Structure 1
Amino acid sequence: MDGLPVVITRPGERGDVLAAAIEASGLPVMRLDSLRLEALPESSEQRAVWLDVDQFRRIVVVSPFAAECLAEALDRYWPQLPVGIDYYAVGAVTADILHQRLGVRVHIPPAAAGEDTSEALLRLGSLQRLADEKILLVAGEGGRTLLAETLAARGARVTRLAVYRRTPLLPSLDMQRRLSQGNFRALVVSSGEILEHLARWCKGAALNQPLIVSSTRLATLASKLGFRAPVVASGATPTALTVALTATCHPQEADVDQDDLEKG
C-alpha cells in the first residue's frame, strides 16, 4: 500500500482544499475529475424569482456552487439586500460562502450534529412549523427531493429553483484502469451522484478498498453498489474526511494536525 495514492473526487476549488488537507496528513493524493459544474443560463423563471426574492421568508441553499450562483444573482438585482429573510445552508462551507459574499447570518445544523446533510438541517427548530411561509430552495438540476417535500409537508410554499447543472465526466483510461484494479489506497466520495457514476468502473479489488464517505446515507448507497469497506466520516468538511481517512489508512503513518486542517 505504500506509495499508492488516495483518489479524491471533489471538483473545483473545494477539491483543492481537500487535497491540501489530505497531503498535510502525509498521504499522497490523486485527483479524479468526475463532475463539471456549470451555471445555467438565466431563464425567465429565474429572473422572476430574483426580482421577487423579497417575498420569501426563508432561503435554503443546498451546496457551495448554489451559494455562488445565488450571490451573483442577488448582486445583480439587489444592490442592497432585502430585509426579513432567514438564510439556511446544508453545510458549513455553503454557509461561509453566503456570509462572505452577502454578509448574511446563516442557519446550519449545530456542530454537535456531526453531519452536513439535508436530514440534519431539517432537524432545526425553526424549520418545524412553516404554515404558509414562502421558502426558496436554491439547488442544482435533479438531485434529492427530500428538502422540498419535507418543507412542503410542514406547511411551506416551496419554490425550488435550479441554478446549475452537473455534467458527469469520463475518467481517463489510466484512471479507469486504476479504479477497476483497486490500484489506490482509498477512495473519497461525498456525493451520491459521483459514487453511482464511478461504481461502473469499480470492480473486484476496488470494491474491497476503503471508501470514505460523508454520511450514513452514502454508506448505505455504497453497500448497495457493492462496496465492502465504506467508512463514514463525521461530515463533508476537509477535516472530517481527512480524519476518517487517516484513521482508516495506517494511522501510525499519518499524524493529522487538527489545527492545520481547520485552516484549510
Structure 2
Amino acid sequence: MTAWRLLLTRPADECAALAASLAEQGVFSSSLPLLDIQPLVESAEQRALILDLDRYCAVIVVSKPAARLGIERVDRYWPQPPARQAWFSVGAATAQILSDYGLDVSYPADGDDSEALLDLPQLHAALARPDPRVLILRGEGGRELLAERLRGQGVVVDYLPLYRRLLPAYPAHALAQRIEAERLNGLVVSSGQGFEHLRQLAADAWPQLARLSLFVPSRRVADLAHEAGALTIVDCRGANAVALLAALRECPAPAF
C-alpha cells in the first residue's frame, strides 16, 4: 500500500485531514484542491424553507459543507429543531457534524452514496406516513437521484441549496506538472463535480492522466469517469479515509 502516491482533490481543509490519515499509514499524498466552497447568500425562498422546517418528515444532508451551513441556518431560526423529525446523511463524516450539533442522524454503513441511503430502513420508516415531505440540503446543482427516486414513491421533495462549488484558479498545466514532478500514480476524487473539475483542469493532458488509477466514492462517479475514458477506476464505496484506505489495500500500486 505504501507504494501509492496519490493526488488529493477535495476542498483544502478536507485534503489536509485526509492527507494526515494517509500519512499515518505510510501513504504519500499531494493536495491540489479542485473544489472551492462558496456559501450562497440567503434568499427569501431559502429562508422560507427553513422557517417551514417542521413540514418535513425527513431532512437529508448530502455533504459536509451542507451540514455545516445547514446547521447555521437552523440555529438562526430554530432555537430547537422540530421534535421527532428524522435526519439523514449520505456518509458518516457528514453525520458526525450533525450529531455533534445534537441531531439524531441515520446514515448507511455500507456506502456513501444515494443508493445506500435509499435502502436505509430508517428512511423507509420516516416516509411511512400520509403525504410525506423531504427537504434535501445540498450544494447548487447537486445530485438528482435521491429526489427522482423519492418523487417516484409519491414523496414531495424540496431542495435547499446552500453553496456552490468552484474550481480554484490554477496556472495552465498545473495538474499535469504536479503529477509528473511528484511521480504520482493515483488520483482521488470525492464527488462527480470534483471529477468534472479534474477533467477541466487536465485539459488536453486528460488522455495521459486517464491512464492513472482513479479512486472514486460511488458507482455514479465511476460511471462518469468510465464515460470520460478513465481506464482504471476503483469504486471505494465511500468518500472517507477508511473507505479509501481499504481500497488501497485491495489494489496493488503500479510499478514506476
Report if aligned partners of 2:151, 2:157 keep a CA contact under 8 Å in 1. yes
Q: Residue 137 of structure 2 corresponds to which residue in structure 1?
A: 138
Deviation by residue 1:72-111 (Cα, 9 ceiling, x = unmatched): 111111112221211011111111100102x1111111x2
Do the aligned partners of residues 97 and 4 (structure 1) sit closer, same or farther apart at CA in structure 2, a change above 3 Å counting?
Answer: closer
Distance in 1 between residues matched to 2:69 and 2:89, nearest whole Å: 14
Q: Residue 79 of structure 1 corresponds to which residue in structure 2?
A: 79
Q: Residue 120 of structure 1 corresponds to which residue in structure 2?
A: 116
Q: 2:223 aligns with which of 216, 220, 224?
A: 220
Letter of the aligned partner of 2:155 in structure 1?
A
Deviation by residue 1:182-201 (Cα, 9 ceiling, x = unmatched): 94121111211111221241
Distance in 2 between residues matched to 1:48 and 1:203, nearest whole Å: 43
Q: Residue 205 of structure 1 corresponds to which residue in structure 2?
A: 208
Q: Residue 194 of structure 1 corresponds to which residue in structure 2?
A: 194
Distance in 2 between residues matched to 1:223 and 1:76, nearest whole Å: 43
Cα drift, residue 42 of structure 1: 0.9
Report if aligned partners of 2:113, 2:237 keep a CA contact under 8 Å in 1. no
Letter of the aligned partner of 1:223 in structure 2?
H
TM-score (norm 2): 0.87
Q: 1:233 aligns with which of 231, 236, 243?
A: 236
Mapping of residues 1-264 of structure 1, within 5 Å? 5-101=5-101, 103-109=102-108, 111=109, 113=110, 115-128=111-124, 130=128, 131-173=130-172, 175-178=174-177, 183-200=183-200, 201=202, 202-250=205-253
Counterpart secondary structure, 1:30: strand
Q: Residue 257 of structure 1 corresponds to which residue in structure 2?
A: none
Letter of the aligned partner of 2:106 in structure 1?
H
Cα drift, residue 146 of structure 1: 1.1
Q: Residue 262 of structure 1 corresponds to which residue in structure 2?
A: none
Distance in 2 between residues matched to 1:62 and 1:196, nearest whole Å: 18
Out of 126-135 and 77-86, give the one that drifted further: 126-135
Distance in 2 between residues matched to 1:134 and 1:4, nearest whole Å: 45
Cα drift, residue 177 of structure 1: 2.9
Cα drift, residue 237 of structure 1: 1.1
Counterpart secondary structure, 1:60: strand
Deviation by residue 1:99-139 (Cα, 9 ceiling, x = unmatched): 102x1111111x2x2x1001110112344455411211111
Report if aligned partners of 1:210, 1:248 keep a CA contact under 8 Å in 2. no
TM-score (norm 1): 0.85
Cα drift, residue 8 of structure 1: 0.4
Distance in 2 between residues matched to 1:11 and 1:26, nearest whole Å: 22
Counterpart secondary structure, 1:203: helix
Distance in 1 between residues matched to 2:43 and 2:16, nearest whole Å: 31
Q: Residue 260 of structure 1 corresponds to which residue in structure 2?
A: none
Distance in 2 between residues matched to 1:76 and 1:52, nearest whole Å: 13
Do the aligned partners of residues 196 and 149 (structure 1) sit closer, same or farther apart at CA in structure 2, a change above 3 Å counting?
Answer: same
Cα drift, residue 140 of structure 1: 0.8
Distance in 2 between residues matched to 1:216 and 1:49, nearest whole Å: 31
Cα drift, residue 43 of structure 1: 0.7
Q: CA RMSD in A?
A: 2.3
Letter of the aligned partner of 1:50 in structure 2?
I
Structure 2 residue runs without a partner (length 5+): none
Report if aligned partners of 2:3, 2:253 keep a CA contact under 8 Å in 1. no
Letter of the aligned partner of 2:118 in structure 1?
L
Report if aligned partners of 1:186, 1:211 keep a CA contact under 8 Å in 2. yes
Distance in 2 between residues matched to 1:99 and 1:185, nearest whole Å: 36
Counterpart secondary structure, 1:211: strand
